């Protein structure tokens, strides 16, 4: 049976466009090469496909080799990791500086930031690691750098994307989807106030802050971050690894208490934002 090469090729091309992982892309590219026209006029097309195949192969070999990447991973710190993403010149470095006081390079020319920049955002005493990722470009997932930056994005608890319009939003979402990055995205515009951006980040992280206190003293200045709906047990564990064993009861002030200083013996008691907890040991 005669094979319609053009049809097969088009099919492989669609598969390539729809492929989400480098492995799938590689598979589709091989199919494209096998079905590409063989006449002289298609030489450029074939060599382009071969180049892409070589690139994806190198990428997957590098990914398999432990520590084979030229890029350093960033150690997680603080209660959560937030990544600032966006197109070039969207104001990522400026926002990082405003949120954290870090000093990234800021310039009016594009692609100033070539490696991730890190700062710490202090939200009412909670430390949030904030990472600016270099500009998202088209077909991000096909570039080794893009893959690396996506791998950092995937380790974050929230992505903050600076956009000017719906098109930007769609572009960024598409690149994240292609990289199989399913982290929540908070889209913000540059004209949002810093206060509102900080509050939105906090709300989207779904965390609460709680305070410990020693009997007869006011609450500690430094709050602890817990995930929303965390229990007394989770807080106790966070304060000290032996605390659950030693737990006798706690006095609680705040939204989760019926009245200020309520005695709570139940380790499954659900805490709320801004609660103050005084632990009493056995």
Q: Which residues bind Mg ion (CB under 5 A)?
A: 92-93, 113
Nearer to Mg ion by C-beta: 161 or 252? 161
| Shortest Å, Cβ 116 to ligand GDP | 12
| Shortest Å, Cβ 155 to ligand GDP | 20
d(CA 2, CA 5): 9
| Shortest Å, Cβ 97 to ligand GDP | 8
Residues that bind ligand GDP (CB under 6 A): 86, 88-94, 106-108, 112-113, 190
Nearer to ligand GDP by C-beta: 22 or 146? 146
Nearer to Mg ion by C-beta: 113 or 129? 113
d(CA 184, CA 175): 14
* Region label for 89, one of left (φ > 0), alpha (ψ between -120 and 50) or beta (otherwise): left
Residue 277 token pair: 């907890």
Where are the strands (E) in 134-222, listed by range?
158-162, 185-188, 207-212
| Shortest Å, Cβ 163 to ligand GDP | 11
88 binds, among Mg ion, ligand GDP, none (CB under 5 to 8 A by kind): ligand GDP
119 binds, among Mg ion, ligand GDP, none (CB under 5 to 8 A by kind): none
33, 212, 221, 278 from 218: Cα distances, Å: 71, 9, 9, 10
- φ, ψ of residue 160 to 5 degrees: the values are -110, 115
Residue 204 token pair: 């989207």
Nearer to Mg ion by C-beta: 93 or 256? 93
25 binds, among Mg ion, ligand GDP, none (CB under 5 to 8 A by kind): none
108 binds, among Mg ion, ligand GDP, none (CB under 5 to 8 A by kind): ligand GDP
* Region label for 23, one of left (φ > 0), alpha (ψ between -120 and 50) or beta (otherwise): alpha
In contact, 37 and 45? CB cutoff 8 Å: yes
91 binds, among Mg ion, ligand GDP, none (CB under 5 to 8 A by kind): ligand GDP
| Shortest Å, Cβ 113 to Mg ion | 3
Nearer to ligand GDP by C-beta: 95 or 277? 95
**Alpha helices, DSSP H, located in 19-156:** 22-35, 43-64, 92-100, 144-154
- φ, ψ of residue 190 to 5 degrees: the values are -65, -25
| Shortest Å, Cβ 119 to Mg ion | 12
d(CA 176, CA 178): 5
130 binds, among ligand GDP, Mg ion, none (CB under 5 to 8 A by kind): none
Nearer to Mg ion by C-beta: 87 or 92? 92
């Amino acid at each position: 049976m005669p094979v319609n090469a053009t049809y097969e090729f088009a099919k492989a091309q669609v598969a390539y466009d729809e492929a989400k992982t480098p492995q799938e892309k590689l598979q589709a590219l091989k199919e494209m090469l096998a079905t590409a026209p063989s006449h002289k006029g298609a030489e450029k097309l074939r060599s382009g496909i071969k180049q892409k195949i070589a690139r994806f192969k190198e990428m997957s070999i590098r990914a398999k080799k432990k520590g084979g990447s030229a890029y350093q991973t960033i150690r997680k710190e603080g209660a959560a990791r937030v990544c600032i993403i966006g197109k070039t010149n969207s104001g990522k470095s400026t926002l990082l500086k405003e949120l954290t006081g870090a000093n990234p390079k800021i310039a009016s020319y594009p692609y100033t930031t070539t490696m991730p920049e890190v700062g710490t955002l202090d939200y009412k005493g909670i430390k949030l690691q904030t990472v600016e990722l270099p500009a998202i470009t088209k077909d991000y997932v096909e570039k080794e750098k893009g893959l690396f930056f996506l791998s950092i994005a995937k380790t974050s608890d929230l992505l903050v994307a600076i956009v000017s319009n719906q098109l930007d939003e769609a572009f960024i979402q598409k690149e994240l989807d292609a990289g199989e990055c399913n982290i929540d995205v908070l889209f913000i515009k540059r004209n949002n106030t810093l206060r509102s951006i900080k509050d939105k980040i906090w709300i989207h992280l779904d965390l609460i802050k709680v305070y410990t206190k020693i009997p007869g003293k006011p609450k500690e200045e430094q709050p602890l971050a817990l995930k929303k709906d965390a229990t007394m047990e989770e807080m106790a564990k966070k304060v000290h690894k032996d605390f659950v064993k030693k737990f006798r009861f706690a006095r609680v002030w705040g939204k989760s208490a019926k009245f200020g200083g309520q005695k709570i013996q139940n380790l499954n008691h659900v805490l709320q934002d801004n609660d103050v907890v005084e632990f009493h040991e056995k």
